[in-house]
């Protein structure tokens, strides 16, 4: 993300109704303030094939995360490392799951590939937008285990 952007110390986040508590900061923030930090939620997701985060691989960027509190929407564009990346759907699913687990239920989360950056962009975007396919994927214990591994924060 950009130099000078706010970074929280690594810790954990717990949601209490409309307030959010950052474990190490001991600070309560309103949900609308918290939403400005959506990019920080996904920056540390690990790539399924590499020992690097999505941020380190430039798969996710702050400018490609749009939050509209008034309309209760979050939109994330991600850029796979190569045009034929076989893990694009898994990366998108990991981003979506992280946001689903972290944000209030009122938010509609749209995760999609940056236009023109993947050979199967339309097919991957269709899968990520289909609630039933996402739910079915998360019922698969093997796939859920891989997603959870991607979401596990690693030491830097």
The per-residue pLDDT for range 30-86, each reduced to its tens digit, is 555 455 667 888 988 999 998 899 999 999 988 899 988 889 899 999 999 999 999
Closest-CA residue to 94 (of 134, 125, 126): 134
Cα torsion 58, 106, 102, 54 to 10°: value is -10
pLDDT given for residue 40 in this prediction: 80
- Topology of the domain covering 43-151: GMP Synthetase; Chain A, domain 3 (3.30.300)
- Crossing angle for the helix pair 88-102 and 131-139, to the nearest 10 degrees: 90
Distance CA 126, CA 140 (A): 19
Please tell me which residue, 17 or 43, carries the higher pLDDT value: 43
Are residues 60 and 43 in contact, defined by beta-carbon separation less than 8 angstroms? Answer: yes
Tokens 């590499």, residue located: 50
Locate the domains of the chain by residue range: 43-151
pLDDT given for residue 106 in this prediction: 87
- Residue-wise pLDDT for 104-141, tens only, equals 888 899 999 999 999 999 999 999 999 999 999 999 99
Q: How many of the other CB atoms lie within 10 Å of CB of 12?
A: 9
pLDDT given for residue 63 in this prediction: 87
pTM: 0.77
pLDDT given for residue 35 in this prediction: 57
* pLDDT band of 26, cuts 50, 70, 90: very low
Q: For residue 68, what are the β-bridge partners?
A: 73
Q: What is the DSSP string of 69-106?
A: TTTTEEEEEE--SSTT-TTHHHHHHHHHHHHHHHS-TT
Of 3-12, 21-30, 118-127, 137-146, where does mean pLDDT reach its minimum?
A: 3-12
């Amino acid at each position: 993300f950009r130099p000078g952007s706010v970074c929280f110390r690594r810790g954990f986040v717990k949601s209490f109704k409309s307030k959010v508590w950052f474990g190490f900061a001991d600070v309560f923030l309103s949900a609308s303030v918290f939403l400005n930090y959506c990019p920080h939620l996904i920056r540390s997701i690990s790539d399924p094939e590499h020992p690097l985060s999505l941020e380190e691989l430039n798969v996710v960027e702050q400018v490609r995360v749009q939050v509209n509190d008034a309309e209760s929407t979050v939109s994330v564009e991600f850029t796979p490392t190569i045009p034929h990346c076989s893990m694009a759907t898994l990366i998108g699913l990991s981003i979506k799951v992280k946001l689903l687990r972290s944000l209030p239920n009122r938010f509609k989360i749209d995760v999609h590939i940056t236009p023109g950056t993947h050979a199967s962009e339309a097919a991957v975007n269709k899968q990520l937008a289909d609630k039933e396919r996402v739910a079915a994927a998360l019922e698969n214990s093997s796939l859920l285990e891989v997603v959870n591994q991607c979401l596990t924060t690693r030491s830097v």
